Chains A and B, each alone.
Chain A
Amino acid sequence: MTDTATTAAQASGPDETRRDFLLMATSAVGAVGVALACWPFIDSMNPSADVLALSSTGVDLSAIEEGQSITVVWRGKPVFIRHRTPEEIETAGAAPMDDLIDPQADTDRVLKPEWLIMIGICTHLGCIPLGQKVGDPRGDFDGWFCPCHGSHYDTSGRIRKGPAPRNMAIPPYEFTDETTIKIG
């Protein structure tokens, strides 16, 4: 377009290669720099140190009667704690593996059979299933029922019917003594 511009474009051979190399190298270094600079921004949205530090919760189970449930909060999520009746343990253990959408034995889901402790979030789209309170609908399998899209969970919190793909998750926990657990 101008004289200078055309001369710039038609620079002689060796110069041209040197410039191309320099251009590519500089562009590459610059691109790496910009990409690396994105990381602090992305990482700042991950859980912060104070949030991670609050990741364990202690619960005293002694006051929960057989057949009762309570909900506690761990990492901002509801954790269902159910003191199961012998019948519930019985039905949970008797369920044939072939009938399960996400096959898992009841014994693999509890530390002590009378205590079912799981994260009370439907694995479909994150709603909180009903079944903790006395008058709640508990679904076809007498466990929990998610009102959002109709997932039915059994007395072991396993998905039996409906759109949810997996059983309700078991959080890491341990018994610190007979009646106290530490979640997380």
Chain B
Amino acid sequence: MTKPQWNNGLVRWIDDRMPIFTLMHHELVDYPTPKNFNYWWNFGSLAGIVLVIMIVTGIFLAMSYTPHVDYAFESVERIVRDVNYGWLLRYLHMNGGSIFFIVVYIHLFRGLYYGSYKAPRELLWILGVLIIIVMMATAFMGYVLPWGQMSFWAATVITNLFSAVPVFGEAIVTWLWGGFSVDNPTLNRFFSFHYLLPFVLFALVFLHLWALHVHKSNNPLGIDVKGPQDTIPFSPYYTIKDLFGLGVLMVFYLFFVFFAPDFFGEPDNYIKADPLVTPTHIVPEWYFLPYYAILRAIPDKLGGVVAMFGSILILLILPWLDRSKVRSARFRPIYKQFFWILVVDCFVLGWIGAKPPEGIYITIGRIATAYYFLHFLVIIPLISMVERPKPLPESISTAVTKGGAAVKEAT
């Protein structure tokens, strides 16, 4: 990689003093990228773009939002009814949350399938898990802001989780609330954090990218890049592929925004918060349902809370639970099956999270929860000991030429 020459005088002047253009050229244009990405590799950049959309729509929404228990609900409705294009901003933001989670969950499971968490990318993976945790906190607090019934009761239930902490539980919850129930101080601080955390996310994403660019991307074969014949420059190949993926995502996203804006929402959140009446059926947003199922599966308060947080924190140690040197599930016949079982398990947990905690649902929820932890704590380490991986291809380029591209080769 040579240093690029800049034609524009101003660019050259700046670059001589602070080589930001050279840096960007190296990281976004020249950047050698494995040539064999499939479309699952689009979701990282998509997540970054959705984050930007969320920040921008959020900043403009904040201009018309009032974080006060007496006005929050009305101010959100005022945004939809009276602010110019306010409905568009609100629905972009509201549905953007769901889209963000869809994209990030796919990105996460792509990492699981192709072993992207393995050495030397453990820190990259850990940063990713931190991003999800901060995202969840941001989403939760954002959901409270419209101050509907679901907002209020989600805030009450989730903050009460901390009362499970031995000895200090009550004090912590009172501190979180800034009072003796979820009330105006709670709403104000949630707004403050909801505005702050996306920028923390942005910083984490930057670190995530930094870590990525040190050892470069994993790829569907999970084998290391052997030389320049295995890679192509990021631009124009992956910029155009990412842009095309963005277009597809936008069609999907905008369909909900314009034609089914309340698809992901709960009707109860169009009722203003009432501290004296709990809705008959409290359910979190869909992206929290699996955790909610895990919480309810454990009959003990503290145990439930620990399991719920544990279910996401366990991902932090995954690089050390999985001892297999082979990354991609393509070459791991047993792991591949269990990966799909885990996917099914997560959907089951999500389904149970939406059901009332009674009868058969409790049993299914417990089995699914037990399996979830079993997968990470027992099955993964066991597989990595007993599994005989399939032979790995010599390099990315030989695999590509031998594989599906054989026909193309003729041209």
Contact = CB atoms under 8 A, between A and B. Distances in A.
Q: Do chains A and B touch in the complex (CB under 8 A)?
A: yes
A32 interface: no
A181 to B, nearest CB: 27
Contacts of B84: 40, 43-44, 46, 48-49
Contact of B88 (A3, A40, A46, A51): A40
A8 to B, nearest CB: 8
Contacts of A3: 229
Contact of B233 (A5, A40, A45): A5
A45 B228 contact: no
A1 B1 contact: yes
A1 B86 contact: no
A49 B60 contact: no
Contacts, number: 51
Main secondary structure of the interface of A (DSSP, over half): helix
A5 B78 CA distance: 53
A149 B172 CA distance: 54
B64 interface: yes
A2 interface: yes
Interface residues of A, number: 17
Contacts of B81: 49-50
Interface residues of B, number: 22
B63 A48 contact: no
A10 interface: no
Interface in B207-235: 228-229, 231-233
Contact of B232 (A5, A40, A43, A51): A5
A44 B56 contact: no
B231 A2 contact: yes
A4 interface: yes
B233 A48 contact: no
A44 B85 contact: yes
B150 interface: no
A4 B232 contact: yes
Interface of B: 1, 30, 35, 56, 60, 63-64, 78, 81-86, 88-89, 228-229, 231-233, 243
Given A40-B85, A44-B83, A48-B83, 18 more contacts: A1-B1, A1-B30, A5-B233, A39-B85, A40-B84, A41-B89, A44-B60, A44-B84, A44-B85, A44-B89, A46-B84, A48-B64, A48-B78, A48-B84, A49-B81, A50-B78, A50-B81, A51-B82
5 closest Cβ pairs, A-B complex: A40-B85, A49-B82, A50-B82, A48-B82, A43-B84
17 contacts: A2-B232, A4-B35, A30-B243, A40-B89, A41-B89, A43-B85, A44-B60, A44-B84, A44-B86, A44-B89, A45-B60, A48-B78, A49-B81, A49-B83, A50-B81, A50-B82, A51-B82
